């Protein structure tokens, strides 16, 4: 099983600042990585797939990068609606696995 490790667990950021979230895979997943956003009481929402492709309707301030075992989700200028938990997920190999999540909170 491929283990996905996200860091940090919690990220405190002021509105308007940049946030950088990391996701590491225990073995290469090529570019088979997605990012999701989840707000309290809501289902996850797809943000990024293929490591760097924004999903339909996702603002340009969200960007993804990386390949192999190291991945990054960047939010260029945090808006109030961006404070949430973010998960990475690999779909390179069964079983599909998620990272433990990074909570982005208001500083």
Partner 1 sequence: EVQLLESGGGLVQPGGSLRLSCAASGFTFSGYTMSWVRQAPGKGLEWVSSISGSGGFTYYADSVKGRFTISRDNSKNTLFLQMYTLRAEDTAVYYCAKDHCSSGSCRFDYWGQGTLVTVSS
Footprint on this chain of partner 1 (rule: CB under 8 A): 1, 31-32, 34, 36, 38, 42-46, 49-50, 53, 55, 87, 89, 91, 94-101
- Taking the least distance from each CB to partner 1, the nearer of 14 and 56 is 56
- Taking the least distance from each CB to partner 1, the nearer of 8 and 15 is 8
- Taking the least distance from each CB to partner 1, the nearer of 1 and 17 is 1
Q: How far is the CB of 68 from partner 1 (least distance, A)?
A: 15
**One-character DSSP codes across the chain:** ---EEEE-SEEEE-TTS-EEEEEEESS--TT-EEEEEE-TTS--EEEEETTTEEPTT--TTEEEEEETTEEEEEESS--GGG-SEEEEEE-SSSSPEE---EEEEE-
Q: How far is the CB of 15 from partner 1 (least distance, A)?
A: 25
- Taking the least distance from each CB to partner 1, the nearer of 3 and 15 is 3
Q: How far is the CB of 14 from partner 1 (least distance, A)?
A: 26
Spatial separation of the C-alpha atoms in residues 44 and 14, rounded to whole Å: 23
């Amino acid at each position: 099983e491929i283990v996905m490790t996200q860091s940090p667990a919690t990220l405190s950021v002021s509105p308007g600042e940049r946030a950088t979230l990391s996701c590491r895979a225990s073995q290469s997943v090529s570019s088979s990585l997605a990012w999701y956003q989840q707000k309290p009481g809501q289902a996850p929402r797809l943000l990024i797939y293929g490591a760097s492709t924004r999903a339909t309707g996702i603002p340009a301030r969200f960007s993804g990068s990386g390949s192999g075992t190291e991945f990054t989700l960047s939010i260029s200028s945090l808006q109030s609606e961006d404070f949430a938990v973010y998960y990475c997920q690999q779909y390179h190999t069964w079983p599909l696995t998620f990272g433990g999540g990074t909570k982005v909170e208001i500083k």
